[in-house]
Amino acid sequence: MKLLILGAGVEKNLGMPLANDLFSEIRNFIKGVELGKKVDEILLKVIIKDLDFSYDKVIHKIVSKLAIEYKKELEIIKNDMEGILNDNSNIEDKKLAELIKMLSETVLKKESKQQEEENLEEILQKIKDIQEYINFPSEVIGHKSNITFESIFQEVMKVILMHSIEKRDHKVLKYIYDNIMDYEYLLLRHFIGFYNDDETDIKIYLYLSWSLWAYLVWKEIEASRKICLEGFSSEKKIPIYSDLKNNRDKINIITFNYTSFAGRFNDNTIYFHGRLNKFIRVDNKNESDIDNYENINIVNFFEDIVRTNISFDNKKYIIPAIIPPLKIKPVISSSYLETWSEAKRLIEEAEKIVIIGYSFNYADEHINDLIRKNMNKDIIIINPDIEGIKTNVEKIFSIKNEDFVINKYKGKLTYEIRKLKLIDAKAEEIDVNSLF
């Protein structure tokens, strides 16, 4: 039996987001897209009501907290900045990386007051050097007599953190953002409200999950429209999915994506984290299909279905049938237990496993463990971030870097050991059929 495991990277070319991009992407959808603004209004004024919540308030809260309690992340950030300083980054990146690195080092070393004051002089100069790139407020670079190292650290981090939300493609700021904005953890934190009957947490979870759902459905609609407009043919195929047409009965799929793409091209598809075309009632775990999902009107769905099935007086709630890829997974329906059990069976019975666009993150340890227990099979991993994946694979499977054999597959760099092969390639660069 042939098994294909698909991660978020497979759909990146279609415009679907990666997990690290969710917070900023949904915020921009709510604030800057007309549909997003309507979704926000319906949720807060019609469905949920009396909820003083917004993505910007979450950002400001995180920023204020992390500017003070940032030390636990500083070692990682410092190392990231050293990497930028050692590569071929531009002047702006290097200046910003130098500032962040020096701030981090000063906090981590817990230096004397005198040493901090000496460092402060240099830090203030570095701030002035990048003022043309990032506009720090006057109080940050004002009179030295009015500031302490602690205050300058907090103010600089606030500015940098806010910029990391706005500029997701900025090389330096991306490192900062990726270490603090965990949308999936935010969901899990408020999902607990269903267990302890905390209405505020429930309201926040409903807002977060339904705005996430609306954003992802909108992105899938946009991707589908693009496919139709561009008329993807044999010359310009949909990465991976088009290759599955001729093998739809011969390959089983486990996908971690929520969109309908995998199911459209292959009937033997398991949606490990749920899918966008279903919703679940929380109290009785009833799972329902969304009618005519292929032609869904998102605003009408909120007005006709979501609003009707949510009542705070009667403690009746529906939520999207999607689970964020967390290590601790809330069981929102018994069908997920059946899905996970079936996924386990497929992995155990597969003769060959091809894994594309999956990063082997710690949050997906459940799948990592299943693969680890089946390392006697032929396993091929395809990912353009081969060094990052190799590092994760080494940790998960207890493999030493020096044990890999460096080779090539159709001109692409590979790392091989026994039956495991890592291929440095994008999803669209490999014909999936050739791998089985």
pLDDT higher than threshold 80 for residue 239: no
For residues 103-128, give the mean pLDDT: 73
Q: Please write down the long-range contacts of 295-299, taking CB distance under 8 Å and 24 or more positions apart.
A: 296/217, 296/221, 298/35, 298/39, 298/214, 298/217, 298/218, 299/35, 299/38, 299/39, 299/42
First to last CA, the chain: 10
For residues 93-105, give the mean pLDDT: 81
- Per-residue model confidence (pLDDT) at position 184: 77
- Per-residue model confidence (pLDDT) at position 234: 41
- Per-residue model confidence (pLDDT) at position 345: 92
More confident residue, 122 or 316: 316
pTM: 0.80
pLDDT higher than threshold 80 for residue 108: no
pLDDT higher than threshold 60 for residue 143: no
- Per-residue model confidence (pLDDT) at position 309: 96
* Nearest residue to 321 via CA among 342, 303, 306, 343: 306
pLDDT higher than threshold 80 for residue 76: no
pLDDT higher than threshold 70 for residue 85: yes
- Alpha carbons 357 and 368: distance in angstroms, whole number: 14
For residues 185-206, give the mean pLDDT: 88
- Alpha carbons 67 and 70: distance in angstroms, whole number: 6
- Per-residue model confidence (pLDDT) at position 21: 79
For residues 63-74, give the mean pLDDT: 64
3-state helix, strand, coil in the chain (%, to 5): 55, 15, 30
For the stretch 376-392, pLDDT in tens is: 889 999 998 888 888 88
- Stretch among 218-222, 232-236, 319-323, 336-340 having the lowest mean pLDDT: 232-236
- Per-residue model confidence (pLDDT) at position 233: 44
195 contacts: CB under 8 Å, gap ≥ 6: none
Q: In terms of C-beta density within 10 A (0-12 exposed, 13-18 middle, 19 or more buried), how is residue 118 classed?
A: middle
pLDDT higher than threshold 90 for residue 39: yes
- Per-residue model confidence (pLDDT) at position 228: 66
Q: What is the mean pLDDT of the chain?
A: 81
For residues 80-107, give the mean pLDDT: 79
- Per-residue model confidence (pLDDT) at position 84: 81
pLDDT higher than threshold 60 for residue 144: no
Distance, CA of 435 to chain centre: 27
For residues 21-48, give the mean pLDDT: 91
- Stretch among 126-140, 232-246, 369-383, 403-417 having the lowest mean pLDDT: 232-246
For residues 81-99, give the mean pLDDT: 80
Q: Are 95 and 57 in contact (CB under 8 A)?
A: no
